[in-house]
Structure 1
């Protein structure tokens, strides 16, 4: 690595941007600072042995453009020259990418840092407001997204820069609030005795919640994938447990979103991202989600003034990565130990 490069130093175009999750990988090319990203078909990480082969087959074999830089958002902790994805066997080795695929420099960030960058750049068409409240210009924002896991990141404004704040907020405790919750919670699968938000608010979490509801009702569970639970919830008369799982998922999501709003004092808005949420929105009572978001006595009035948004842009992380790649100096992204050069 070259320590003289700092977070604000311009990247060399063309730039490959990539959002690498535990299940899907999304790629785009940014030819220059004014071009719209050229996107490529979304691929499954399970279809390729490693990120090197995925980039070669999905991007480099499909274009004559040789990217000079790469900005990669990775669903996993970045702690050295070998970066493991949390929910995929891929290991990202930036030095190998430099040597084997012709890049001159590579920046790697957490996938939810990219989602945080996205909420600084999303157009109005890329979001849908849930309930009331109005965003304050330049105020802190927070994004959370149920997917393979539950990602959380903040975005704060300081020194004329947007600064993403990544962490493991998806693993905060999630407890019961109502008598019905009290009946369901003993049946939730735990990790070392603990129910974290991610044990409920992600794909496997939805299945966990559905099974717990079945356990509380004393009926056998019939579904073992989030897709099956969601499909069954569309006909609540035929599967009351699946329908309840979707609604309680939304309520729990609203509770956690409200907690994060308080932690970050997110007067700029709270953003819910992720494909799972987009798929279940048509089934939800969004007023219940908003009510759970605001139910934060003694600060309910404060929450009522904060806007809550569903991110509707399917490539939101790429929007954030493109904004950073065009103008790194506008973002206070710490790249020490996360920027490599040939």
Structure 2
């Protein structure tokens, strides 16, 4: 009978690694600590009724490799033996996976823990520097990912160990500072009267901000999708879209700077996700770093902290693979999140 386990022992190879998002799930299998992961095509969550079905048909039916263990990164609270996902209808049931998929060991972590693990050792080819600050120290880091929502994860470096810190940093307050902010914020869609960072710094947040700009300026909005806003902004074909992405960069810089101060992230702040990658040209303009550094009385400290965009196409899987290979190099809590046969 499968049961919860707090064991810190390494998971047995081969290990199934999964990054479960709201729209897509990405999987690979790590045969041993020295092999490169075997990648599988992305799985659309809407195409399968359950995650177990997706793993069986999207992975196990397509390979002779038989994983003994699984590490899954999910967007959702891990509070029990049944883990509902935030942005899709799947429910992760580790004990059912053990009996139904032939696994011996299942570890479930937060999706931004996986992103945090990934930034422990990103090479230059998988990151794009924003600003002229030299590379950071081997020190604590932060990752922010504007996407469906705004994910935030910390990576604390202590006693030669990387300790991933999950949280809900995307829901901190974001308030107006400039005259233009004061014109726009009354027109932003709030949640119970509050503007959190995620109300602006995600896909729907981009549209929220675009509509606020149009309303404040008496313009009829014509763009409906986040991709339309970013495309027109980067092409310079819509003034409201241009301002939207410019202000998005400013606000992202402010929140990224706040997170850098919270974690004393001298090792750098990393921006992950598709939105960050798409708007790199805008992030390289002065607005992002200006918002990031404007933290008096700690402006000089902020100027010393580097910022990057993560360009690795499968960063979360890479982070989980790093942990699977060398679990003693990372502090990942397993209590209430690991199940064994």
Equivalent residues of 1:23, 1:148 under 8 A apart: no
- Tell me the CA shift for residue 283 of structure 1: 4.3
Structure-1 residue corresponding to 2:239: 240
Structure-1 residue corresponding to 2:294: 295
Q: CA 1:19/1:3 → structure 2, altered by over 3 Å: closer, same or farther? A: closer
Distance 1:105 1:44 in 2: 25
- 1:117 is paired with a residue whose SS is helix
- 2:19 is paired with a residue whose SS is strand
Distance 2:283 2:10 in 1: 43
Root-mean-square deviation over aligned CA pairs:
1.4
1:166-181 superposed matches below 5 A: 166-181=166-181
Structure-1 residue corresponding to 2:129: 129
Distance 1:154 1:235 in 2: 34
- 2:222 is paired with a residue whose SS is coil
- Tell me the CA shift for residue 38 of structure 1: 1.2
Structure-1 residue corresponding to 2:324: 325
* 1:238-262 deviation digits (Å, cap 9, x = unpaired): 4111111111111111110011111
* 1:295-321 deviation digits (Å, cap 9, x = unpaired): 111111000001111111111111100
- Aligned: 1:44 with 2:44: yes
Distance 1:202 1:265 in 2: 24
Structure-1 residue corresponding to 2:193: 193
* 1:132-179 deviation digits (Å, cap 9, x = unpaired): 333444311111110111000111122322111111000000011211
Distance 1:129 1:136 in 2: 11
Structure 1 stretches lacking a partner, 5+ long = none
Worse-superposed segment, 46-55 or 135-144: 135-144
Pairs aligned (count): 340
Equivalent residues of 2:5, 2:336 under 8 A apart: no
Worse-superposed segment, 131-140 or 9-18: 131-140
Q: CA 1:93/1:315 → structure 2, altered by over 3 Å: closer, same or farther? A: same
Distance 1:310 1:4 in 2: 36
Equivalent residues of 1:128, 1:309 under 8 A apart: yes
Structure-2 residue corresponding to 1:316: 315
Distance 2:36 2:151 in 1: 26
- Tell me the CA shift for residue 284 of structure 1: 4.3
- 1:190 is paired with a residue whose SS is coil
Q: CA 1:64/1:188 → structure 2, altered by over 3 Å: closer, same or farther? A: same
Q: CA 1:228/1:6 → structure 2, altered by over 3 Å: closer, same or farther? A: same
- Tell me the CA shift for residue 4 of structure 1: 5.7
Q: CA 1:85/1:170 → structure 2, altered by over 3 Å: closer, same or farther? A: same
Distance 2:250 2:5 in 1: 47
Structure 2 stretches lacking a partner, 5+ long = none
- 1:234 is paired with a residue whose SS is helix
1:61-210 superposed matches below 5 A: 61-210=61-210
Structure-2 residue corresponding to 1:267: 266
Worse-superposed segment, 290-299 or 185-194: 290-299
Structure-2 residue corresponding to 1:255: 254
Equivalent residues of 2:15, 2:67 under 8 A apart: yes
Distance 1:326 1:285 in 2: 35
- Tell me the CA shift for residue 47 of structure 1: 2.1
Equivalent residues of 2:234, 2:279 under 8 A apart: no
Distance 2:335 2:6 in 1: 8
Distance 2:294 2:110 in 1: 31
- 1:155 is paired with a residue whose SS is strand
Distance 1:258 1:246 in 2: 18
Distance 1:121 1:38 in 2: 20
